[in-house]
Amino acid sequence: MTLSRRRIMAIAPAAAALALAPSVQQRARTVVDVRAFGATGDGTTDDSRAIQAAAAATGSGCTLRFPSGTYRFAQRWPAGTAAIVINRVADVVVEFEPGAELLIDNLDPVTHTGTGHGLLVRGPASRISLRDVNIRWAARARRSLGDGIRVVGCPTPGEGAPVGWSGPLAPVDQVSMSDCVIRASPQTGVVMHGVSDITVDRLRVVDSRADGLHFNACRRARIADYDAVDTGDDGLALVTYYAPEFSFDDAAHTFAFPTLIDWSNADFTINDVRVHGSQANGIRIAGAHRVTVGGLVVTGAGAGSAVMADSAAPGTDVGWNYLASRGVRVEDLSATDCDTGIHLLARPGAVGDRQFTDFDVTIDEATLDDCSNWSVRAESLSDTTARGLRMGNCRISATSTTGGNGGVGLENTQQIALGDMSIRHANAVVAFRASNAEQLAVDRLEVTIGGSGPATGTPSPCVSLEDSDGTITAIDVYWPAAPPGWTAVRQSAAGRCSVDPAIVRALKVTPPGGSFVVTCP
């Protein structure tokens, strides 16, 4: 192992102290300094060879260190597909000192696409710690090859190798990341495939062309204090794919299972996540199992949802397939200026396989402001109903008069349970709509309208129940400017009104000039 003189001098006193203290058994770690391999860190010189040599010299029990400086990596299509490759090792630390940065400057000059990743951990590997890793692409790329940090392992569910896998299994476990920053990656900020026992603390991803942080077929993870800013896709994605048997897609390097198992992005605890400016969703959960999210703030997801839980069966014209997630709990959610706040979306296909419709998602203490389409949307895209959304306290404020009016919409659903729902809307629009919602249960629905209503014509009801049944314990409607005779709640559809309507146990409309009557046109 080649060490710089400065590093040798730095560790010498500590080594001497240990020699004088027989009770101390732990040896000092071997430090591999990229400057000892010729890296300059001046931001101009191409340090590619030195960085690769230092990474190759990093064996088990070593620390790969980047002192303060900007290390330019300009080699296109590097060996191992990354600037830093960590492979076949255990107990390794990659550490960037304050002021250290890896500058990736290897885009294809013609296509402006990426030619490699920043840091790659490839199995077999265990006990890998990434500390203060700071990676930035020098120029903005088209969405293409180039993850900031990529960790590639293989699930080991006890069934042997997945179909499509070649060679021995290459597991990765006990990966920790702390205080890492990824900027302008051509693909994902950080992605992990088939990794076990993960810790991510204080990660920041800015301006990635794809997801900020993505997991596929992982298990046992804890993510805390994560920021995603202006990501090209989801801020945080937990996506495990469906296939009739345990499978591996070599081209995409993704894993798929026939059912939800302990490797279906299972046993995740996620706290204090902030997503701003995502081009898709704040957090997307597909094919996941036992996930707890607390303290999620999403702003500016103008083309997606703050929380998306979706499924897709084969044959539904979606490029990937994934099962309905179960055991998901989200608490303390804040969403502002999103297309949709919360979206539960089932795509079960013609067969109607219940693995693609039976969710288990609980959301409590949600504040949803100024969503342009829906604040809450649960739906199935076929006649097979979507099931399994439960909500506790939810506060909504909206001004939209397009799409779903920024309100609540249920369509082709069953057994949706809503707690205390409060909707404040600036306009007289339908703010709560249930269509073919079977066995609906709502504890309390409060709708407050602030506007004066349309200049001409009859204002729409603020609550619409169509082809729906179940029980709404109480509806309270407040509209100071309501015109005389206005109908606040409309229940429609032939048959439902006379045979099995949704029951509203208590309806209060203020002022009294509004209608107290549930009508069935």
Q: What is the DSSP pairing of strand 254-257 with strand 247-249?
A: antiparallel
pLDDT of residue 520: 58
For 244-299, the pLDDT digits (tens) are 999 999 998 999 999 999 999 999 999 999 999 999 999 999 999 999 999 999 99
Question: pLDDT category, 513, cuts 50, 70, 90?
Answer: low
pLDDT surpassing 50 at residue 439: yes
Q: What is the mean pLDDT of residues 75-97?
A: 98
pLDDT of residue 351: 84
Tokens of 480: 């100071």
Q: What is the mean pLDDT of residues 338-365?
A: 96
pLDDT of residue 13: 40
pLDDT of residue 17: 37
pLDDT surpassing 70 at residue 3: no
Phi-psi region of 29 (alpha: psi -120 to 50; beta: other; left: phi over 0): beta
pLDDT surpassing 50 at residue 9: no
pLDDT surpassing 70 at residue 447: yes
pLDDT of residue 493: 57
pLDDT surpassing 70 at residue 515: no
Classify the C-alpha dihedral 316-322-323-328 as positive or negative: negative
When computed from its CA atoms, the radius of gyration of the chain, rounded to whole angstroms, is 27
Q: What is the spatial distance between Cα 283 and Cα 305, in angstroms, rounded to a whole number? A: 8
Of 20-29, 81-90, 139-148, 438-447, which gets the smallest average pLDDT?
20-29
Q: What is the spatial distance between Cα 437 and Cα 414, in angstroms, rounded to a whole number? A: 6
Q: What is the spatial distance between Cα 298 and Cα 369, in angstroms, rounded to a whole number? A: 10
* C-alpha closest to that of 489 among 480, 502, 470, 500: 502
Question: 494 or 233: whose pLDDT is higher?
Answer: 233
For 296-317, the pLDDT digits (tens) are 999 999 999 999 999 999 988 7
Q: Residue 48 in contact with residue 80, Cβ under 8 Å?
A: no
pLDDT of residue 458: 84
Q: What is the DSSP pairing of strand 204-206 with strand 236-239?
A: unpaired
Tokens of 88: 């076949």
* C-alpha closest to that of 268 among 312, 329, 341: 329
Q: Residue 242 in contact with residue 256, Cβ under 8 Å?
A: yes
pLDDT of residue 518: 58
Distance of CA 102 to the CA centre of its chain: 26
Q: What is the mean pLDDT of residues 200-218?
A: 99
**Number of helical H runs and strand E runs in the chain:** 2, 40
**Largest distance between two CA atoms of the chain:** 92
pLDDT of residue 158: 82
Question: 206 or 521: whose pLDDT is higher?
Answer: 206
pLDDT of residue 14: 40
Distance of CA 204 to the CA centre of its chain: 14
CA angle (504, 509, 513) in 5-degree steps: 135
pLDDT of residue 352: 87
pLDDT of residue 456: 80
* C-alpha closest to that of 131 among 173, 104, 183, 93: 93
Of 2-11, 115-124, 502-511, which gets the smallest average pLDDT?
2-11
pLDDT of residue 425: 98
What is the residue-averaged pLDDT of the chain?
Answer: 92
For 150-192, the pLDDT digits (tens) are 999 999 988 689 999 998 999 999 999 999 999 999 999 999 9
Q: Give first-to-last CA distance, the chain, whole Å.
A: 84
Question: What percent of the chain clears pLDDT 90, i.e. is strictly above it?
Answer: 83
Question: pLDDT category, 20, cuts 50, 70, 90?
Answer: very low
Q: Residue 158 in contact with residue 266, Cβ under 8 Å?
A: no
pLDDT of residue 135: 99
| Amino acid, res. 403 | G
